[in-house]
Amino acid sequence: MNTRRKWLLAAGAVAAGATGGLLWHRRGEELAPDRPAEPPGPAPVRDPAFPNALRLPGADGMYGILDVGGPIAIVARPIQHALYPGKPAAMLGFEVQHQGNNYLNPLLRVRRGTTVRADFWNALDETSIIHWHGLKVDANNDGHPHYAIKAGATHAYHYPVPNRAATYWYHPHAHGRTAAQIHQGLAGLYLVDDDEDQALRTALDLTTGVTDVPLVLQDKRIDGNGAPVYAPTEAEWMHGYLGNDVLVNLTSRPHLDVTARIYRFRLLNASMARVYRLAFTSGDRSLEFALLGGDGGLLPQPRAAQEAYLSPGERLDVALDLRSAGSGATVTLHSLEFDPMHHDAARSAREAGAAHAHTRHHDEGTANPASAQPAPIPDGAALELMKLYVYPARDPARELPATLSASEDPDFSDASVRRIRIDHHRMAWRINGRLFDMRGIGLTVRRGAKEIWEIANPADGMPHPMHIHGFHFRVLERSGSPEQVRRLALAEHGLTASDLGWKDTVMIWPGETVRIALEFSHSYLGDQVYMFHCHNLQHADRGMMVNVRVANVNGTGYGL
Ligand code: C2O
Ligand code: CU
Ligand code: CU
């Protein structure tokens, strides 16, 4: 059968199957919604190694879009879910029933300023709590591990959302169990919307789940039956638990049909420990993308970039103009090879007495099909994450606006400086020489204070994506950066694409000192306790976290 004939048959099949508007892209069928009836050019060559249609947020089900107006009830519970076609497996999920729809890990869409009421019911057989990663809420609503509730218990959230529009996310945060619960499936997206974001979506004619596409990158350790298994060795607690498959939106080896127009991709690294070095190619040509924003919302103007690191917890908001690839093209989203810089890997693996061989070559993630559990893909290995097949667009061409946001650069000239030191001791990573103490206050800052934190990571360690709750910051400077990071600098002071705009998570590579600027202002009365921690989830679960008290007193800020 020739390609065109196959194509027409496929188009007919989808038209017949499409009963409701949202159904057909939610179910991940082969056709993009605005594909014309007859392709004028050659069809893209489809790669059999990427057989699965990317899961997209639709009207309900897994990742279904839930516009949060009134109260919602979220249940964390065991579910059966097929990550691989035809292989339902035991996982965990956030379940929401709302206005007749059933959602799993819903994409919560919230207008800035909305007051959210969410009742959380922990139907797991262990302690849990929901943390809203990136939201500037008060400590009672933050989901700090101190608030973790027992199996069967409930916790009521009630908070206004003061955040700028951006891609945030939510996940469990029970101390020692965060990684396990996220790995087994508990994580969802939380998109805040405001006028500036609305203006961008109007200018580019973007629709969530169609042309404004979240991409949740998560590697998982999958057993021979297609089920995720969380069982880190001692060495993996130290280095991070790496998966043997990298999923995008819980889809293995995904492809997405797109049209030759501008798409927005909101990338979230929801992996436990894996870092991605993201780039798009068409054939052997690297495709430039426009950086729109980071963790905390839109940049003033888009910035051109070729690649970006994305460490656990971080988000990148990018626009990709697929007209530059052209219809008929196949575009690949890569994680390019890099040195993962696990510098004490050999030594600590020996200390742990664990066999934890890091091989440097790419095993394609499939390994030996005869073995029950394929070996993990090494951190830093070159990976093809997703294929985009470009079809002709019939919607009118739109251009990226020159200005995205009117937000101004804050002034940190009067900020005081605080030094934060990362080290390791007896197989655990520490902040300022200490492990997490649930009730102890590691850092105290004064409400309203402006501070510059100089975070130093020793050269013989490993990379740490450092995250703060309750506030966003600016990255001022990277120094001592390894060559593979320095090479990506696109702004002064060594800043890379992942460092621009407002951030809540920043990668600190071995040997680096990174200066970040924070303003601890919010409208909450009384002392608020948040936390600062590594978002390598094995590191966090083993105590690479510190409580941060924001003291609501005048002029008595005191240090560690
Ligand atoms: Cu996403 Cu305390 O973290
Ligand atoms: Cu967080
Ligand atoms: Cu770490």
Q: Dump pLDDT digits (tens) for 423-476.
A: 998 889 999 999 999 999 999 999 999 999 999 999 999 999 999 999 999 999
Instruction: Assess whether pLDDT exceeds 60 at residue 9.
Output: no
Residue 145 CA: which ligand is closest?
1
Please give the pLDDT value at position 42: 86
Check residue 460 and report its DSSP letter: T
Q: Considering only CA atoms, which residue is closest to atom 1 of ligand 1?
A: 133
- pTM for the full model? 0.89
The number of beta carbons lying within 10 Å of the beta carbon of residue 247 is 24
Instruction: Assess whether pLDDT exceeds 50 at residue 31.
Output: no
Q: Which atom of ligand 1 is nearest to the CA of 134?
A: 1
Q: Dump pLDDT digits (tens) for 418-431.
A: 999 999 988 899 99
| Averaged pLDDT, 201-215 | 98
Give the confidence band of 394 by pLDDT, cuts at 50, 70, 90. confident
| Averaged pLDDT, 9-26 | 31
Q: Dump pLDDT digits (tens) for 313-332.
A: 999 999 999 999 999 999 99
Q: Considering only CA atoms, which residue is closest to atom 2 of ligand 1?
A: 469
Distance 206 CA to ligand 3 centre (A): 36
How many residues can be counted in the chain? 560
Strands, E assignment, 323-472: 330-335, 383-391, 416-425, 428-431, 443-446, 450-456, 464-468
Distance 432 CA to ligand 2 centre (A): 20
Q: Which atom of ligand 1 is nearest to the CA of 540?
A: 2
Residue (of 241, 385, 402) closest to 319 by Cα position = 402
Residue 247, strand partner residues? 218, 252
| C-alpha to C-alpha distance for 68 and 178, rounded to whole angstroms | 25
Q: Which atom of ligand 1 is nearest to the CA of 531?
A: 2
Q: Which atom of ligand 1 is nearest to the CA of 171?
A: 1
Give the confidence band of 397 by pLDDT, cuts at 50, 70, 90. confident
Distance 540 CA to ligand 2 centre (A): 11
Please give the pLDDT value at position 471: 98
Strands, E assignment, 273-314: 276-282, 285-287, 289-294, 297-305, 307-310
Q: Could you tell me how far CA 228 lies from the centroid of its own chain?
A: 19
Structure tokens at 301: 């103007």
Average pLDDT value for the chain: 89
Distance 508 CA to ligand 3 centre (A): 9
Instruction: Assess whether pLDDT exceeds 60 at residue 11.
Output: no
Give the confidence band of 348 by pLDDT, cuts at 50, 70, 90. low
Q: Dump pLDDT digits (tens) for 170-206.
A: 999 999 999 999 999 999 999 999 999 999 999 999 9
| C-alpha to C-alpha distance for 194 and 164, rounded to whole angstroms | 7
Instruction: Assess whether pLDDT exceeds 50 at residue 369.
Output: no
Please give the pLDDT value at position 367: 44
Residue (of 203, 82, 190, 62) closest to 133 by Cα position = 190
Please give the pLDDT value at position 560: 35
Residue (of 145, 262, 152) closest to 213 by Cα position = 262
Q: Dump pLDDT digits (tens) for 229-240.
A: 999 999 999 999
Q: By three-state DSSP, how is residue 410 classified? A: coil
Beta strand 61-62 with 65-67: parallel, antiparallel or unpaired? unpaired
Give the confidence band of 295 by pLDDT, cuts at 50, 70, 90. very high
Check residue 5 and report its DSSP letter: H
| C-alpha to C-alpha distance for 175 and 169, rounded to whole angstroms | 18
Q: Which residues line ligand 1 (CB under 6 A)?
A: 131, 133, 171, 173, 313, 467, 469, 533, 535
Instruction: Assess whether pLDDT exceeds 60 at residue 70.
Output: yes
Distance 85 CA to ligand 1 centre (A): 31
Instruction: Assess whether pLDDT exceeds 80 at residue 485.
Output: yes
Distance 91 CA to ligand 2 centre (A): 23
Residue (of 191, 204, 67, 199) closest to 132 by Cα position = 191
Q: Which atom of ligand 1 is nearest to the CA of 133?
A: 1
Instruction: Assess whether pLDDT exceeds 60 at residue 479.
Output: yes
Check residue 228 and report its DSSP letter: B
Please give the pLDDT value at position 427: 85
